[in-house]
Amino acid sequence: MTKTFAAQIQDFADLTKRNMRHVAVEAIQDVMEAAQTPQLGITKGATSFVEGKIPVAESDLINSLSVDGGEASSDAYVTALAGYELGDNMRFTWTAEYAMRMEVGFTGIDELGREYNQPGRHYVGANAARFEDFVKQRAAEVSK
């Protein structure tokens, strides 16, 4: 049975929406997986760090990821993305008290007189900046 022109157009529109959702979900997931890539924290013996990886001394920072104010866990984004629809807005937040200091760095002197000049790890910003590249990679998958 031959489909009508209108039915063919609708099939094409549906495929386009599925492909767009695939690109969006996978690119967002790529960013989140990169941001949640752990690296041993300095307090646990690391002698250096790679910008863009989340420091892990204990598990409280990496496990503090919350999506839209929901329950925090290291893979909170996986469940949230399962229900993602085109046009949805999602807010990813690391809720650990010191998350922002780890992201952007900090300087100062503590109550014992110790000086700190800790560069930021940029586990959020460095990976969010890669979003466009992730989109291009995922778009290539669906345009084959």
Read off the pLDDT of residues 34-90 as tens digits, 9 standing for 90 and up: 999 999 877 777 778 889 999 998 899 999 999 999 999 999 999 999 999 999 999
pTM (two decimals): 0.87
| Mean per-residue pLDDT, 116-127 | 93
Instruction: Answer yes or no: are the C-beta atoms of 140 and 52 closer than 8 Å.
Output: no
Give the per-residue pLDDT at 62: 96
Predicted pLDDT of residue 144 = 74
| Higher-scoring residue by pLDDT: 124, 114 | 124
Residue 116: per-residue pLDDT: 85
> Residue 51 is encoded by which pair of tokens?
């910008």
Spatial CA neighbour of 102 closest among 58, 21, 59, 41:
41
Cα distance between residue 85 and residue 135, in whole Å: 16
